[in-house]
A and B are shown apart, each in its own frame.
Chain A
């Protein structure tokens, strides 16, 4: 069965610093990978997705992620964060033999301080 592990539950960082949110997945078949963002008291918004092709994926708000098949990782990065990036971030996986199921990680709370 597929699973997703987000290695950090909370990541505090200062404004304009770089950030990396880590995500590892387990699957024996090809997968599709996603990052979602949830701002306080809101639903989830898709940041970026990897379906196939280039392993470096660029998303909205200056975020990017790199698919690493050998390390089964899909880490999210941003070179310079803003206060407005404070939110919870979820990594998710679907595909392979899971059909329409989308499996989420536990979430990483990014807190950007001035």
Chain B
């Protein structure tokens, strides 16, 4: 089954404790992306990657890091999480370089206290 998986689905952590949210897709997609969803703001793109070893900033990259060492994986790293990073995070992938018709993961709800 074609899918994008994220882990963990729920995470509660404390300020400053480094964490990683994993994202994996089984569709051999070149394009992958991370978004955060906040009430009243819709989804905002954090980072995206058009291929292995190629990443670019989205609209809200501050406080986040990503890497794309393999085609299927695109982890999101928060080196020093802060409460304003409490949000719902989605990973997505697409077969085309311009990100058309993205498949979304189920989401990761992160709470930073």
Cβ A101 vs Cβ B100 within 8 A: no
Cβ A100 vs Cβ B42 within 8 A: no
Confirm or deny: A44 has a beta carbon within 8 angstroms of a beta carbon on chain B.
yes
User: A59 to B29, alpha carbons, bound, how many Å?
Assistant: 22
Which of B43, B56, B106 has the most chain A CB atoms closer than 10 A to its own CB?
B43
Chain B contributes a number of interface residues (CB within 8 A of A) equal to: 28
- Tell me the number of A-to-B contacts counted with CB atoms below 8 Å: 66
Cβ B101 vs Cβ A49 within 8 A: yes
Cβ B101 vs Cβ A104 within 8 A: no
Chain A contributes a number of interface residues (CB within 8 A of B) equal to: 25
Confirm or deny: B90 has a beta carbon within 8 angstroms of a beta carbon on chain A.
yes
Cβ B107 vs Cβ A46 within 8 A: no
- Chain A residues within an 8 Å CB radius of B31: 100
User: A43 to B3, alpha carbons, bound, how many Å?
Assistant: 11
Contact of A32 among B56, B90, B98, B103 (CB under 8 A): B98
User: A46 to B2, alpha carbons, bound, how many Å?
Assistant: 14
Cβ B58 vs Cβ A43 within 8 A: no
Cβ B43 vs Cβ A32 within 8 A: no
Once A44-B90, A95-B98, A100-B33 are accepted as A-B contacts, the answer to whether A106 and B107 lie under 8 Å apart by CB is no
- What is the chain B residue whose CB lies nearest that of A9? B40
Binding site for A on B (CB under 8 A): 4, 31, 33, 35, 40-45, 48, 50, 56, 58-59, 90, 92, 97-107
